[in-house]
Structure 1
Amino acid sequence: MKRTLLVVDDEYGIREFLYELFRDIYDVTLAADGKEAIELFEKNLFDVALIDLRMPEVSGIDVLAYIKDKNIETIPVVITADRDIDHAVEAMKMGAYDYITKPMDYKKLTVTIHNAIEKKGLEEKIDSLERHILPSSLFSNIISHSKEMRAVFNSMENVLNNDATVLIYGESGTGKELIARAIHFNGNRSDKPFIPVDCASIPESLIETELFGYEKGAFTGALKTTKGKFEQADGGTIFLDEISNISLDAQAKLLRVVQEREFLRIGGDKKILVDVRIISASNKDLKKMIQDGSFREDLYYRLNVIPIRLPALRERTEDIPLLIQHYLTIFNERYHKKVIFDNETLRILMDYGWPGNVRELENVLNRVILTAEKDVVLPNALPQEMRKAGASDDGAETPDSDISLDSLEKQHIRKLLMKYDFNISAVAEILGVTRKTLYSKMEKFDIKK
């Protein structure tokens, strides 16, 4: 089914030209003035509206005001004369996506309308994903709709109400502690302590002291008996983050705790018994570390009873729009702003590889929104490495690119075919054409699998 475009212009020649320009790509409706446009909005839904600002009686600004007042989910693009740039700026403040000046650059116009349509599709995708996330879900604080994370949720549900030892694998920034907390606070130990231990940040000489505690006088400065993390977690859950960082000596003592749920404080001779669930996490390949001799095989098998692998953000890209919207809402509220991203900025955020995963995305959005001086964030506000990565992406031309309509259509068709693994029926339906027409266009543009 074709996307819908409303063209509003009081000049007959321009209306007819724009109709001929876009009719093969979109379902185009024409309005001869602002009044007719408002009447059409009362009965129809349009994805994008191309609106001339200078019209008699009901102006383009009036139409924008109507769209805003009625919360109509149409993306407006306005047409203005060079001498009316101030009106264009006013239109942008009222929610216009972009503006085109007369005399029109039709190459820029086609790309702008294409980008507005893409933005509309992204907004619809976010709305759809948010509707499918159940508010009553046990893990509703974890923002995801991807099948990769669904597998993680299934594994989590299987361990909620038992004491099975869990080992969470995942790159840095994927949210391993968030998963551990969700297991604890939705399980049968939720009213007991959750004690996280960042093994990577504790010096090797202090790891045993931190985990097992010490008796008064055990060493210089030990002025009183102090409980370690295992005792603090008694009855609840201890989360050993980056377990790969502890020494072989500490691993041997940890093995006994995992097996027997008992240990000795440093300097003590009395066994301490604990009832504790153990969840560990690692961003390293523990099997490879076993081969290298830096991790105990017996400890690995004790910890790896229930393995849960967290996918990297680049493996679940369909979650990126949700995460962007989630953090946009959080940081706008925190900093009392109303920041939005323009389409090109969104595209860069969507296409970036995110080597630091969700943590990197959160930090980038936090910084960008905090430092934003205007309500609309443009690409130059993003880190340089992201802009460079976005500039090198295939088919990422900006509206100023020297691009023909055929080239734009070719890119769009190729992108859809790649996305849907050359499923001709699916892509033809999305484009609103027959399979025969799609095959003809593939032949015309020399698009092959």
Structure 2
Amino acid sequence: MKQAGSILIVDDNPDILVAVQLLLKQHYQTVKTTDNPFDIAKIINEQPIEVILLDMNFNRDAISGQEGFYWLKKIIAQDPSVVVVLMTAYGDIKLAVDAIKAGAADFIAKPWKNEQLLGVIAAAFSHAKDKQQVGKLTRQTHGLNQALSGQKFEFLGKSTAMQKVFNTIEKAAQTDANILITGESGTGKELAAHAIHLASARSDQAFISLDMGSVGQNLFESELFGHKKGAFTDAKADRVGRFELAHSGSLFLDELGNLPVSQQTTLLAALQNRQITPVGGTKAIGVDIRLICASNDNLPQAVRENRFRQDLLYRINTVEIRLPPLRERVDDIPLLAKYYLDYFSHKYKRQLSIAAEDMAALCNYRWPGNVRELAHAIERAVILTDNEFLDIRSVVGAEITPATEETNADAHTTQTAPKVDHIDYDTFNLETLEQRAVRASLKHHQGNVSQAAKALGLTRGAMYRRLEKYGL
């Protein structure tokens, strides 16, 4: 039975090419030949080659082996994962040592016995597998360091609405079915995706996430599928894409509704074929992922408006999980407020508590930004509070006002809200609140943009955009 593997034989002697090809074709699936070393680069670009059996002497030089060394260096520079075995009719120990120092895996002298050649080639393929694995792990480690940044909170809730969510997650996580998480912005879709991953059989593998709304159109394929060095102007090194990073684990694509239709087609093809090809690459890579997507858009409506492909929607939502907005789970607000207070008090080395009247105010507020808004409000208050009780109003002021009757009806609660004599409607403006938060975080971290961005849950790039936006 032939073994999987691809080998290229390079020699200017046609008799040797034929003899070696006939021998190796009995044992390996793909055996290519060429009598011109200038063809090597083209062949490597067109198809995956794992091992090259390279003659050391061509027409220019009869016995020194320098041509072989020259082409060896060219091959290694083009694709370091290729394993090269050099061959010559003028073999000696010094030449063999020099060849291995230059990067060859082995050296064989002509003429050889078939058993000897087969042994050398088998060892070369084993070496090639090891190099590929090491290279993949190195790239994955680099990619994971980039992808796994950012703070992770717990996915909490005790309300009836959240118990239904937890029950669905428990059932769906036991399968490899694709899951679509829907809900308003800030409801915790990434936390839900992470909870699905932790409850699945893939929990010991990587959980990789990507916000599709933050990916520029020209970087879409590079982010998802990776790229090869030199594929475009800024591609200074190979990069592993999110699909490959998530191999054997879970891939979470957030805000999928932001993806242009043209790129939806590319994504659909990758999901259907379970294969990706890095930008600038020629080798297709098989991927095994558990796909979890999320959107705050109405995707069925987007399909009707031709903004989203119907076949992609069918592909991603085998199971759909809707996360309720915070106004529909008021019972969870004290639990969440206490959790974030403990978290940020520990982070900023404070000892604070929430007064009963402030907790009541928190429960009566509508929270248009949902759990994310609550978390940021608590963090800002922890940063700015001067006494032992969390001063919610010093941060959000009149924003913490009674919910409307409609809000209370939505939340199925009859809590009585405190009266408010005056409302500064500017405090309802999200941009105003965001600007205050950015100013407060910068002040707390003494102008350190990285620390201020981290405290706000933003990337450095997102932080700089806000600094420019607000003229800070």
**TM tier relative to shorter chain:** 0.5 to 0.7
In structure 2, relative to structure 1, the CA distance for the partners of 1:391 and 1:261 (3 Å cut) is closer
Q: Which amino acid aligns with 2:157?
A: S
**1:192 partnered with 2:205:** yes
Structure 2 counterparts to residues 45-444 of structure 1, below 5 A? 141-377=154-390, 380-389=393-402, 396-397=417-418
SS in 2 for 1:383: helix
In structure 2, relative to structure 1, the CA distance for the partners of 1:298 and 1:364 (3 Å cut) is same
Preserved contact between residue 207 and residue 246 of structure 1 (Cα < 8 Å)? no
TM-score for both structures, normalised by structure 2: 0.52
SS in 1 for 2:210: strand
Q: CA deviation at 1:286?
A: 0.7
In structure 2, relative to structure 1, the CA distance for the partners of 1:232 and 1:391 (3 Å cut) is closer
Preserved contact between residue 402 and residue 417 of structure 2 (Cα < 8 Å)? no
TM-score for both structures, normalised by structure 1: 0.54
Runs of 5+ in structure 1 lacking a partner? 1-139, 401-449
Q: CA deviation at 1:294?
A: 1.1
Instruction: Name the CA distance, whole Å, in 2 between partners of 1:311 and 1:399.
Output: 28
Query: How many residue pairs end up in the alignment?
Result: 261
Instruction: Name the CA distance, whole Å, in 2 between partners of 1:163 and 1:325.
Output: 34
Q: CA deviation at 1:266?
A: 1.8
Q: CA deviation at 1:204?
A: 1.3
SS in 2 for 1:145: coil
In structure 2, relative to structure 1, the CA distance for the partners of 1:365 and 1:164 (3 Å cut) is same
Q: Which amino acid aligns with 2:363?
A: M
Instruction: Name the CA distance, whole Å, in 2 between partners of 1:386 and 1:341.
Output: 17
Q: CA deviation at 1:342?
A: 2.7
In structure 2, relative to structure 1, the CA distance for the partners of 1:397 and 1:310 (3 Å cut) is closer
In structure 2, relative to structure 1, the CA distance for the partners of 1:191 and 1:165 (3 Å cut) is same
Q: Which amino acid aligns with 2:380?
A: R
**Partner of 1:44 in structure 2?**
none
Q: Which amino acid aligns with 2:314?
A: Y
Q: Which amino acid aligns with 1:227?
A: V
Deviations 1:86-139 (A, max 9, x none): xxxxxxxxxxxxxxxxxxxxxxxxxxxxxxxxxxxxxxxxxxxxxxxxxxxxxx
Identity %: 41
**Partner of 2:458 in structure 1?**
none
After TM superposition, which residue ranges in structure 1, 4 or more long, deviate above 4 angstroms?
Answer: 388-395, 397-400
In structure 2, relative to structure 1, the CA distance for the partners of 1:378 and 1:220 (3 Å cut) is closer
Preserved contact between residue 361 and residue 401 of structure 2 (Cα < 8 Å)? no
Preserved contact between residue 168 and residue 307 of structure 1 (Cα < 8 Å)? yes
Instruction: Name the CA distance, whole Å, in 1 between partners of 2:231 and 2:185.
Output: 36
In structure 2, relative to structure 1, the CA distance for the partners of 1:220 and 1:376 (3 Å cut) is closer
Q: CA deviation at 1:331?
A: 2.6
Runs of 5+ in structure 2 lacking a partner? 1-152, 409-414, 422-472
Preserved contact between residue 366 and residue 403 of structure 2 (Cα < 8 Å)? no
Q: Which amino acid aligns with 2:182?
A: Y
Q: CA deviation at 1:280?
A: 0.6
Ranked by relative contact order (alpha carbons within 8 Å, sequence separation 6 or more), the top structure is 1
Q: CA deviation at 1:181?
A: 0.9
